[in-house]
Structure 1
Amino acid sequence: MGYLYRGILCSIEIKDQYKNRYKNIKMIPLNNDLLTIPMSDELYDEINEFKGTSFDNYEYLTDKIGLLCEELSMICRTAFIEAEYFGGVGSQNSMVWDNQKVIFHETLTEHAINRALKLLGVNSDNNKDEFDTVGLGRHRFVEDWINDENHH
């Protein structure tokens, strides 16, 4: 079975300030007072205005999305994550900002997302890793997150 996700992770405290910033933004609460903003194709196009430049090894992290993460990081640590797996084979990418500076960057590894979540203050519990502790396994595909009924 596959897993495909790309999006922003940050504190739920940004919700009210950013919920109307983009027409296509969806903010879904996670455990540990975090939320995720799934990067749909529509949100990607809206943020990039059809002219963003991608970071190496990332499919969806562009300079313009990086600027948004940098801005969010003035309020709270912010991560952009990508994961793609099929049949147990795949990789993860993550970048974390704090106070407008990149403090962590890891691509094409198996644990990049858990390391980013630790930097966001997540402590794993009950024999789960950080990924499962916050609930990122709740859906397996970006589209399912976008259609999550708990979005703001």
Structure 2
Amino acid sequence: MGYALEAVVARDEVVRAVSREVPGSHVVPLGQGLSLMPMTDEVFDAVTDGSERRDLGFWRLPGGFGTVLAQWSGTGPIAYVEAEFFGGVGEQRAAVWAGGSLVLGPLGELAGTPSSDAVSPVSQALRRLGARRGLHGDEFEAVGLDRHRSNDDWIAAAGR
């Protein structure tokens, strides 16, 4: 079974505030006071400027959305994360905006390839948002990003 995530992540109050501007958005609480807003087709259409460009090397970041994230980050640090894995192979990307500027990334990593013991891009972004790994293997697990395997699963969890 695979894992796929494309989402905005920030402190709960930040995600809730920005989600009010985005028709069809869903807010899903994570651990450590963070929440995520999955990038659905409806959210994508609501936040894109219509350009075809792939900002910052992400595969699902809408055209011009980096500018929107920079604006939203005036209320608190905000990340955009993507992760896709199947059978231990995949990749993840992450970037963080704060105070109107890109402050981390974009970071990318292929999973299942030889690499250093460096912290994954998503965990680095979560650290920048204040997450701590505690007794867990990394910040990804510590905030509960391993609880669901797709954006649809996250949205279903938001409805409970």
Q: Same fold (TM over 0.5)?
A: yes
Identity %: 28
Tell me which residue corresponds to 1:26.
26
Question: In the superposition, relative to structure 1, how do residues 60 and 32 fare at CA in structure 2: closer, same or farther (>3 Å)?
Answer: same
Partner-residue secondary structure (3-state), 2:20? coil
State the Cα distance separating 1:11 from its structure 2 match. 0.9
Query: 1:142, 1:149 → 2: CA distance?
Result: 11
* Paired residue secondary structure (1:25): coil
Q: How big is the shift at 1:62?
A: 3.1
Q: Which runs of 4+ in 1 moved over 3 A?
A: 49-52
Aligned to 1:67: 67
1:6 is displaced (CA, Å) by 0.4
> SS at 2:74's partner residue?
coil
For the pair 1:136 / 2:137, whether they are aligned, the reply is no
Tell me the equivalent position of 2:57.
Answer: 57
Structure 2 length as normaliser, TM-score? 0.85
Farther off after superposition, 84-93 or 67-76: 67-76
Q: Secondary structure at the match of 2:158?
A: coil
Task: State the TM-score, normalized to the length of structure 1.
Answer: 0.89
Long gaps (5+) in structure 1: none
- The alignment's C-alpha RMSD in Å is 1.9
Secondary structure of 1:9's partner?
strand
In 1, are the aligned partners of 2:69 and 2:97 still within 8 Å (CA)? yes
What does residue 121 of structure 1 align with? 130
Contact 1:40 1:146 (8 Å CA) reproduced = no
Residue 108 (structure 1) aligns with: 109
Conserved? CA contact 1:52–1:64, under 8 Å: no
Listed as ranges, the gaps of 5+ residues in structure 2 are: 112-119
Alpha-carbon distance between aligned partners in 2 of 1:85 and 1:95, rounded to the nearest angstrom: 19
Letter in 2 for 1:82: E
Amino acid at match of 1:122: A
CA contact (8 A) 1:93 1:109 kept: no
Which residue identity is paired with 1:71? Q
Q: SS of the residue aligned with 1:148?
A: helix
CA distance in 1, matches of 2:23, 2:33: 24
1:80 & 1:125 partners in 2: Cα distance? 23
